Amino acid sequence: MATSARMSRRVPIEAQRVDAPLTQSATFLVLSVTDGPDAIRTVRSTLASIDDLAKNVSIRDLGASFACTVGIGSDVWDRVTGLPRPAELHPFPAVKGAVHTAVSTPGDLLFHIRSERRDLCFEFERQLMDLLGDAVTVVDETVGFRYFDVRDLLGFVDGTANPVGPAVPTSIIVAEEDASAAGGSYIVVQKYVHDLKAWHALQAEQQEAVIGRSKLDNVELDDAASGQRSHKTLATIKDENGDEHEILRDNMPFGSPGTGEFGTYFIGYSRRLWVIERMLQRMFVGDPPGLHDRLLDFSKPLTGTTFFAPSASMLASLDSD
C-alpha cells in the first residue's frame, strides 16, 4: 500500500477517472457544439487528445491531484462519437412539482476539471478552449471551491452518503448490462443558488430537520415515519427489492459575496441514470406527492443537464479515423 501511494505521486491521475479525489478547486465547464463545417471534427480531435492535454498540465505538480472527466450530451452523441448510444442516455427531463421545477437546460459537452490548485484548472481550461476555438460556445462556467471541512454554503457537510471502497465502481461504472457503454458513467449536473438570508432565519434545529443531519457533527437523524421527509431521506433511492442504489456526488460550493451569489454545483455520477432521475422526482414532486423537499424552498436550480462519460479508451478512439 505504501509503495502504491508513493508511485501514485509520480504519475498523473489516469484519464476519465470519475472517482478522482475531491480537491480544493474545481471548474464545471458546459459547452455547446456550433454548426460550423469543421466543428465536429475539431471536437472529436480535441476529445481524443484530452489525456495528453491533462498530462501536460498535471505533470507540473503531481501532488495537486489534477484530473478531468469529459461528458458527452445526448444531442451530439451520435455525431461526435459515431458509437452505439448508452442505453439510458437522453436529454435531462424537466421535473415539475406543485411548487418547484427542476429545469432542463442545453449542453453538449461537460468538462469536470479539478485540482488542489486553481491555477492548474485555469491552465487546462485555457489550453482546452484554444484547441476547441469556434467549434463550441460556452453555456456555463462555474468555479467551485472547498469550503472548510467539505461543507456547503448552507453550513452542512456534503457528500457523506457517497459510496466507499468496492461500492464505488459498482455504483457508478456501467458494466455488463450495457456492453457497448461499459466502463462509462452517467452524469447529471445542476447549478443551485441559495437564499441564504431566508435559510439563516431558520433555527439550527429547523435546518437540521430539512437536511436530515445534525449541523455541527453531521450525525444522521432518524427518518420520518410518514408525512414530510428530509432531504437525506428523499435522496435515498431503493428499488422494488428494497436494495439501495448509491451515486457519487462531487458537489462544490461557488459564489461571490460581492454580488450576493451563493450556491452549490451538484454533479452526480451513476451507473444507472434512473437512480438520479428518481431522486429528483422525489425531491421536486414529493414522496408522498405534494410534500416536496423543503431544501428547495431555499435552493433554486438554474440548470439541469445530462451527459455520459465514456471510458478513456473510447474517448481516445474518436480521432482514429
Catalytic residue from among 140, 158, 250, 293: 158
Provide the angle, in degrees to the nearest 10, between the axes of the packed helices 118-132 and 50-58. Answer: 150
H helix intervals, the chain: 2-8, 39-48, 50-58, 74-81, 118-132, 167-172, 196-200, 204-211, 231-234, 273-284, 312-316
- Smallest CA-to-CA distance from 31 within 102, 112, 94, 103 is with 112
- 248 near 270, Cβ under 8 Å? yes
Task: Calculate ∠ Cα 315-37-123, nearest 5°.
Answer: 50
The answer to whether residue 158 is catalytic is: yes
Pair type for strands 25-33 and 109-115: antiparallel
- Smallest CA-to-CA distance from 285 within 229, 246, 226 is with 229
- 156 near 215, Cβ under 8 Å? yes
CB within 8 Å of 257: residues ≥ 6 apart: none
- Catalytically active residues are 158
